[in-house]
Amino acid sequence: MAKRILIVDDELSVVELLREGLSEAGFLVDGAYDAAEALVRVKDNLYDAAIVDFALPDMNGVMLHSKIRQLDSDLGDCTLFISGQAQTDESLIYYASEGTQFISKPFVLTDVIEAVRRVVHDA
């Protein structure tokens, strides 16, 4: 059975690129363009992994990750962060403490696909 992935990013081009690449790799993919939409999707669906932009218009990625974890602790464990912003010491400490991965924009699509495969395989 195909694994289901949620992509949360306010950039349409990023969501579409990841959706296309992950779909071609055999994943079922949903996209959300802000945290509110992502939370509705998490409440209504079961996901095997999520890719969350660190800087969303309505909530930062850490806050969204915390809310995702409250709704679905397994999905909280299978979340990857993506961002074009420089990472702060605080964000790097968060990623390490939560055991999440960080992918920097611009990214290589095959690297993201492999990271998702690792996350869903290790879950």
Domain boundaries, the chain: 4-122
For residue 58, how far is the Cα from the chain centroid? 16
Q: Residue 13: pLDDT above 60?
A: yes
CATH superfamily, domain 4-122, is Response regulator (3.40.50.2300)
What pTM does this model have?
A: 0.90
Instruction: Give tens-digit pLDDT for 28-87.
Output: 999 999 999 999 999 999 999 999 998 899 998 889 999 999 999 999 999 998 887 656
* Residues whose CB falls within 8 Å of the CB of residue 41, separated by 6 or more in sequence, listed in order: 6, 30, 32, 47
Instruction: Give tens-digit pLDDT for 82-122.
Output: 887 656 566 656 666 666 678 888 999 999 999 999 999 87
Q: What is the pLDDT of residue 7?
A: 98
